[in-house]
Amino acid sequence: MKRFLILIIPSLTALALLLSQLPFTLNVLAQAAPTATARPTRVRQPKATATPEPIATAEPDEANAEADSAELAPIAPGAMTSQIVVFNPDTTGSATVQIEIYDSAGAAVFTTIETISPNGAKIIALPNTLGANFQGNAVISSDKNVQALALAANGANSARDAYEGVSAPALQLTFPLARHLADDTQNSILAIQNTAAANANVTLTFYNADGTIAHQQNETLAARGSFYLNTNALFSGSPFTGTVTLASTQKIVAALQTRYFKDTAAVRALAANEQDTLVYLNSVERKVNGKGAGQNWSEIFARNNGANAADITIEFFKMDGSPAGAQTAADVPANGLAQFLLNDAAFAALGNAFVGWAKVTSTEPLGVSTFGVMNKGKRLSGVDGLANSQVNTRYVCGNTARSATENTQLALLNTEARNAKILVRLFDPNTGAKLMQTTVKLAPYAAATLNFSDSLFAAAGSNFRGMTFVKAKGKTPPKIIASVGNPYGGAKVAGATGYMCSALP
């Protein structure tokens, strides 16, 4: 039986990927992004569609960065360029991967074949031959069960996106958050891809936080076509914070890019099987200075996907697993939204230097997205919460780095009331050879963040970008969670990316 994995980047240059196994298929969507003043139907892209690797620069000094960020002026990210990271966790042999790119109307415009070693990874850029202002998608097929991430960045790397693939396209999808606070600089861009070989009729419904409908529209997507919607066109001059649902006659995938001051973050839409009454957030933070101004904080959005009103509770835990407090949003209506913004004074009980994890519970199924805001808003990363039904014992993180410009922060969580031994192993992206491994011991309900800049990871070298394998050890290992944060460092604070690692069978 085929299994499909879909990725879409709803950034200024966007990609979507659809994968299955035996044979394996992957759909990729690519689009140029609007500029600061563009309407959603007018797009602009850099002259070259391939993004080169960034030039190595020193890591930023956090104290200087904070002193530099007294009051931020929102800046539109400008044109962004997408890349696909394809990685092969199948140890039975090299993967032969065929990438077929289609324009937005579904016409084939480019085909290439790549070989990826077992445990190897490869970054694939859009070809320059597509030209500027390209919009489209692709199908990637492989003889192995490869997986993929979608990446996007502007020329200065001050705005960067990343998000993981999903297990299957669906007829109905949900975004726990869609936000429009200001045109072009704090807006959202929604991307939808039709994965089928027939036209899809899609209904988009935007809900206010109280569950009432703010906007609804119908769109027809061509076979393997795509559609983008900029919230500038819907909420210009009238701030909106709410949620979105998508209902389609064909299976679709979708993702959303949100902008916040200088950086961007992308999260993907959630299918019904990715929602639960218990959702984990394995990394949350609240750092506030002496004047009460937020430095680093988490913004958490929980959507009530049930048919009835529900109390939505968030419980916080320290890194050692001990409780740190809880808050409840009472009587959140169906299709409604609960917001937990940790820089707010309502969360002062957590203290001014809280780092830990959280879980969100409800009597109705939830979809949860969380955004990590760093350096007073100069950096932003987004990760969807992981439903309890999706928690696993083995994960693969396809885009991890150790260099002068980028060092991965690997967040681990033990979700069970017993000790966990977790194996972390890094691989050479070209050969798939093991570069190093270490074992992390976590107490019950404890969390840890591994910084790849530490000497513990020195064996990976100073120019590593490849795959990381995470596994709970033992005959009956406890269930764990793994996610990645990749802050990009330069002379000034630049963009960050985040994603949830992919579970392995």
- Check residues 31 and 494 and name the one with the higher pLDDT: 494
- Same domain, yes or no: 101 and 227: yes
Q: Which of 274, 309, 325 is the last residue of a domain?
A: 274
- Same domain, yes or no: 402 and 471: yes
Q: Which of 324, 355, 385 is the last residue of a domain?
A: 385
Closest CA to 498 of 403, 377, 373: 373
- Strand, helix or coil for residue 388: helix
- Same domain, yes or no: 263 and 284: no
- Same domain, yes or no: 402 and 366: no
- Same domain, yes or no: 317 and 349: yes
Pick from 35-39, 159-163, 204-208: least confident? 35-39
Q: pLDDT class for 206, splitting at 50, 70, 90?
A: very high
Q: pLDDT class for 51, splitting at 50, 70, 90?
A: very low
Mean pLDDT of the chain: 85
Domain that holds residue 344: 276-385
- Same domain, yes or no: 122 and 90: yes
Residue 491: predicted pLDDT: 64
pLDDT tens digits, one per residue of 248-288: 999 998 989 999 999 999 999 999 999 999 999 999 999 99
Q: What separation, in Å, do the N-terminal and C-terminal C-alpha atoms of the chain show?
A: 15
- Same domain, yes or no: 58 and 137: yes
- Same domain, yes or no: 18 and 84: yes
- Strand, helix or coil for residue 359: strand
**From CA 420, how far away is CA 298, in angstroms rounded?**
26
- Same domain, yes or no: 359 and 395: no
Residue 167: predicted pLDDT: 64
- Average confidence (pLDDT) over 318-337: 98
Torsion, Cα of 394, 384, 339, 337 (10° steps): -110
**From CA 239, how far away is CA 241, in angstroms rounded?**
7
Residue 71: predicted pLDDT: 58
Cβ atoms 470, 477 nearer than 8 A: no
- Same domain, yes or no: 262 and 287: no
Torsion, Cα of 390, 393, 398, 404 (10° steps): 120
Written as six digits, the tokens of 370 are 């969380």
Taking the model in full, what pTM does it have?
Answer: 0.88
Q: pLDDT class for 130, splitting at 50, 70, 90?
A: confident
Written as six digits, the tokens of 111 are 């085909």
Q: Which of 274, 307, 328 is the last residue of a domain?
A: 274
Residue 16: predicted pLDDT: 35
Identity of residue 73: A
- Average confidence (pLDDT) over 166-195: 92
- Same domain, yes or no: 260 and 311: no
CATH number at residue 409: 2.60.290.11
Q: How many domains does the chain have?
A: 3
- Same domain, yes or no: 350 and 420: no
- Average confidence (pLDDT) over 134-158: 84
**From CA 310, how far away is CA 366, in angstroms rounded?**
10
pLDDT tens digits, one per residue of 68-126: 444 578 899 988 888 889 999 999 999 998 878 877 888 888 888 999 999 999 998 88
Sheet holding 24-30, edge to edge: 24-30, 136-142, 95-103, 108-116
> Who's near 274: CB < 8 A, 6+ residues apart?
166, 367, 384, 387, 390
- Strand, helix or coil for residue 337: strand
